[in-house]
Structure 1
Amino acid sequence: MSSTTFGYKGLEAYKKKDWANTISFLDKALEDSKSPTWLLARCHAHTQLKNYDAALHDAELAYHCAAERGSGASRKQMIESQYRRAVIYFRLHRFADADCCAKWSMSLAEGRPAGEDDGVEKRVDANGNYTVTVEEGVADKKGQPGNSVLPDQLIEKLNDKTGFEADWNRAYLLRSQALGGLKRLPERDFGRKVHVSKIPIKPQKKVVKKPEPVVEDSDDDEELKKLLDPAPEPVPAPGSVPDEKLKLRADFYQTNQTVTISFFAKDIKKEDLQVEFAEDKVRLGPVPREAARYVKAGDREANSTLLLDNNIIPSASRWSATPRKIELVLQKATPGVKWVKWGEEKIGVGVSDLAPKAAGGAAPVAPAPVTAEPKETTAKDSAAPAYPTSSKSGPKNWEKLDDVDDDEDKQDVNWFFKKLYKDATPEQQRAMMKSFVESNGTALSTDWNDVKGRKVETQPPDGVVAKKWDQ
């Protein structure tokens, strides 16, 4: 099997966050070609598995290979290499080294020459301790791409828009974390010393050898063709998949007023979706079934009846949809009552199944279908539920956040804060960075006028006493 095939398989495993197979396949691919893309993917995989020596080897080798190739992607790969070095050193608590590498990643993103002697690693005192402070790191934004505050003599040489703005912001955030960690280290700690150089020494051999994947021999061209154009999987016959396997993956959370249920599927067509609310049930469809791709609109299996754990107010409930998620926000009929579970899904639906029971034995009446998202909300809906926040801009309504795809990064607890920072103005970003760093992560402000002239004190939660690192 060719190195190209192994490289393709390695990158496919990397996309799936299958770190072990990423390393195994790329080990074989890199025997014949030192591709910076493959090296950086393997570096990331080693970092995730805490193989830091191997990860550092790949980051440094990727830097040199990218510089030697001089292709259109070389600067991007060199920026990534320096950033990967910074991440590895940060995880090793070598915060001085981490800050230097993050700064060099920023410099490359600004369009500066790779060999420029900026003297970052020379910022040490008589004891060899790194002297750059958190405040200096936060204020170091003069070269930010798109900021237009470079000296006149540099504006002619550097592009104001480099195309690497996101890479610069990422390294800038890492610097604040590294310098915050540096501040907390004991005076003689190893992590306070600088042990790195801007141009890393080119590694001569691989540090760690992982087991090779067990792959059957096959013709290279045929194998690559199968990878690039895989044969379709067999489709199950209609009606052959049991209802239990057709059910949507679901998750829910609740407040005193509402229950929010998210259903996950692929290729949801919002324009075709219909949602109908009743007092103790919800009907939705048509929805795609991953386990049964033969299902189409009009089939019994294309619809679901959701039997709810408690009653709701149909007229005050709402829904939204993206290609990967359907979200229902159900208004509780009895506020304050905690639902043990959201309910259960039944495949198929009928009018008699959905309609609420009429009083006095009258014939049930089906509710009108809700075929689109409500465009207007009442004052009560827009005001609640609002939760406490330290933000100067007021409380956040967490149910009004934009819908996002259900991938691993966005499920992470830090995703909201990353999005908040990304969408903020430069002045708000400065306020967020200053307040977060100075308060040791206990306060976050977006009001620069409030925080620029004072030190933001640590504000521990009630019942918690803030202590210094050495106490």
Structure 2
Amino acid sequence: MTSEISKGDAALDNKDYVLAIAHFSKALLSTQAPTWLLKRATAYHRLGQFEHALADANSAVLVALGRGKRELIADAYFRRGIVLHGMKQYGNSRMCFHWTRQYNEKLNGLSMWIAKVTADYDAAGGDEAECNAVTIKEVPDKIEPLPPSSTLVLNGEEISSPMTISAGKKVMDSTTTSTSNVRHEWYQSQNAVTVEILAKNIPIGTTDIKIMKTSLEVSFPIGTSQQTYSLHINPLFAEIDSTKSTFRVATHKIEVILQKSKYGLKWSALEATKSQNVSVSSEATMIPPLDVMCDKSSSKPPVYPTSSKSGPKNWDTLVQDENDDDNDGPDAFFKTLYKNADPDTKRAMMKSFQESNGTSLSTQWSDVSSRTFETVPPQGVEAKKWGD
């Protein structure tokens, strides 16, 4: 079974998640190893099969608890929390990360995910929001296998899974691909609004994108289902500079960057309501400039704190890499978190980061404002004062 796991790992690295599931599933027929369950959960998650991913993560928790190994238990709770975050169950996700910390507080990536789910928890409405309710148990109930929607065939053997593979090559079940599986999201900075459309197998050559001064249109055919996905936003919340706006099409994501005509204008939605004028009044909310982060006497874009020897980084000059691996890249996450944060959250991030010399980061100003952060170096590293 080791060879199946190696093949599954290779497929996972190559982002061939369907093939990875096939190999991990074959290995799991012999042994329900928690690490193998977590690998398959990761593949399911990246395919958007959240229910199957959660079932595997819950199974991994049960097996790991039975074996009594703290690191395995922490890994299982961690994956469970990531999957629940993808399902927008922020209260349940945050609780899983709390349990993770009880078993391994130094787990790689844990601090980043705690900060991420805390920000999403607050943005969703805090304790009053339905998605923030805690409804899960620390020890999951016995997991019943989910009914497969089709079968995997790998080297002549049938393996339960929601996709279909024949002779080791993936053949997507076209009945599972529809417009309901396509979603879009957006975020903004002072000078641009970014719209992302997430789907599987986007046909790069037949995607139609029209960016106009007051509208955006995106359409593309979906697989072999003879359906067409269309996104029409007309009118946009405010006018844009269509000549400076750009887009990028990949097989799993379309990214459209709309350059704002009015720098600093904060959009409250993508589309203007009927009562709004496309030409937004001068009294509209403006995104405050990053006074703490940049020199007012210059027109340079904002820089962010860093402990790098090369000095502060200007994120606006860096190329944003493709990242569909659960948003695990901390640089990309913290850039987006800071960009979309309110002034108090930015102050909290600045103060905690600077006082701790880059070893701590908090987003809660009510907590940060009243205390001083000490330098807490990683395990095995000794903190020394300047000149020692």
**What range describes the TM-score normalised by the shorter chain of this pair?**
0.3 to 0.5
Pick the structure with more strand per residue: 2
Larger Rg: 1
TM-score (norm 1): 0.38
